Chains A and B, each alone.
Chain A
Amino acid sequence: MSRNLAATLRKGAPVFAALGDETRLRLIEKLSSGEALSIAQLTEGEPVTRQAITKHLEVLADAGLVKSSRRGRERIWELQPTRLADAHAYLDRISAQWDDSLERLRAFVED
């Protein structure tokens, strides 16, 4: 069995929990242009307070999906794409395994 496969098949558990929220998904969307954005920019158009947005960003940061830095006196946030891609890739792997299993089931019952 490939060690690389074994190591990569399970990845990013906290990422899924971090993504399981509509507001956080919208924050990811806003950041997906690649541009670093401030809290003010990220709160724009959201029906929640800046504090709430900050808390959501902290959850995303804990999961390694976003990171913040200082630009002058402002804190700005940007996407860390690798972890999100990892999470997607993990579910893709499981999904592909199910596709394979179900094709084996098909071959088994449709004779």
Chain B
Amino acid sequence: MTTTSDRIEKQIVLRASPERVWRAIASAREFGSWFGVNLQDDFVPGATVRGAITIKGFENVAMTMLIERMEKERVFAFRWHPYAIEPNVDYSQEPTTLVEFRIEAVAEGTRLVVTESGFDQLPEGRRFKAFEMNSGGWTAQLANIERYVA
């Protein structure tokens, strides 16, 4: 659910131990396995880890993660360029968003909260094809605005 224009926050309760969830996130090999990316190196704070996406439709798109913080079974944070999938664009000079995974033990297993923030700083002047709304018309647009400002 989007709460503001600058960040996205997701929560999920997993029927697995915090230790299991931590391993799935903090091990580059395991992370890559479920996320869908072939990462070349391990996750270490301060490291730049590169890989190629394996998700259908995005095969071989390059992905770069700048590892910020790793607190075992508590926080895993990294920076990246969200959906940096345009082949001829050099994203390396642009601001990154911050992705934080926070782990908490709960009765059912583990609560994982994922936050991605920093969208407000994404660069101006980028021109892409206008997003074509499937349902055009003022009514549909107003409904979007209403949801957004509510």
Contacts and interface: CB of A to CB of B under 8 A. Distances in A.
Contact of B145 (A8, A32, A93): A32
A17 interface: yes
Contact of A89 (B121, B124, B131): B131
B148 A94 contact: no
A13 interface: yes
Given A84-B145, A94-B116, A109-B21, A19 B83 contact: no
A95 B4 contact: no
Nearest to B137: A81
Contact of B116 (A86, A88, A89, A98): A98
A51 interface: no
A28 B121 CA distance: 20
B107 interface: no
Interface residues of B, number: 53
Interface string B1-30: 110111010101011100011001100001
A85 interface: yes
B141 A110 contact: no
Contact of A82 (B14, B121, B124, B141): B141
B33 interface: yes
Is chain A's interface secondary structure helix, strand, loop, or mixed overall?
A: helix
Interface string A83-111: 01111111111110111011011111110
A29 B149 CA distance: 7
Contact of B141 (A11, A81, A87): A81
Contact of B122 (A13, A85, A97): A13
Contacts of A97: 83
20 contacts: A1-B58, A8-B131, A10-B122, A10-B126, A13-B119, A16-B6, A17-B120, A88-B145, A92-B2, A95-B2, A98-B10, A99-B10, A101-B34, A102-B112, A104-B35, A106-B14, A107-B34, A109-B20, A109-B24, A109-B34
